[in-house]
Structure 1
Amino acid sequence: MYPASFENLILELHKLPGVGMKSAERMAFAILGWDDDQKEQMIDAFKKASNLKHCKVCGNLTEEDECEICSDPERNKNQICVVQSEKDLYTIESMNEYKGVYHVLHGTINIQKGILPDQLNIDALEDRINDDTEEVILALDPTQDGETTALYLSRLLSDRVLVTRLASGIPFGGKLDYADAKTLSKAFAGRTKE
């Protein structure tokens, strides 16, 4: 049996997604092997991460009131790409092709889990749409929950603005963050009207 403080470190690491107890144990031993500077850098990274919040406009991660994308005057504010998570936003950004802005829902509709539209960042999306908005691109995972959310948003918004979806290239049941830039680029180029 390990000392209580080491057991606690293992249990905390085990809380990370995809980290089993054995992996958490290996990570804990690796951390014990770090010198003081490495440990301080990790502690500092955790402290700085506590300053992160959601952009008041789109819901992206930021340290300010608005994220860098929303405050960038070069971005096309009349084209809004709706994503499920911040991770999906950064996956799309990695293409270096999309020049519009984003809106992060922070999840998808899932009736079985009790996640309903009013629990997502949908009201803020509706508030952003005005007469100048040209297009809302639904870039949601092609899963059952993603499809349900896309259908809901399409019905909610299509009388006010052009609503499109990413084209094929991302398989049903797949995840955006697993798609390579080329596949995403093709999906964006072939998006369809909803």
Structure 2
Amino acid sequence: MAKNYFDITLALAGIFQSARLVQQLAHQSQCDTKPLRVSLQSLLDLNPPSVCAVYGDNPSHLQMGLETLQCVLNGSSRQGLGVELTRYTLGLMLLEPKLNRNRSAQKELSYRINGLERQLSHFDLLSDTLISAIASIYVDIISPLGPRIQVTGASSVLQNTQIQIKVRAVLLAGIRSTVLWKQVGGRRLQLMFHRKQLFKEAKQILTNS
């Protein structure tokens, strides 16, 4: 059966959007608010009707992720910051099968994410309360699965507890996109052998958004 590269590319862009947000936080102590909201919002719908629905039914919501994906695929960012993006992305991809094999972790993850809905009736998604709740899910369920993702950036920034919390929340969103990517047929080998096809799909999605 032919791969649906639209869905694969969208979910992959979701992973790269999370990676880029982590990078911004680690180096600049802040990140772009709109893509942050999109990434965290993607956690909340565990039974979406489509891949696009996970990201607000609008591919343009993944503009940051699509552009970051293109940069990595065309090799324009293989050094420096590009290496970080690749490391974060591969780190998320290595965690996904560990989660996939751990039924109790999956059950607990679903339970905890469903619990976020109750808090959303009182707090905004980007409030410190919600971001802390999301980060705690990552710490309690994903981190123990290993291997841990090593985040690099400005040491003064990374020592900030609030930045650490935001990074963990964004990494959980990255796990969400990675699970989705795998579900629709995404595989790591595609990043090696189907780079042109993925780049072309990302470009077309951006053009049509």
What TM-score do you get using the length of structure 1 for normalisation? Answer: 0.25
Comparing both structures, which one devotes a greater share of its residues to strand? 1
Comparing both structures, which one devotes a greater share of its residues to helix? 2
What TM-score do you get using the length of structure 2 for normalisation? Answer: 0.24
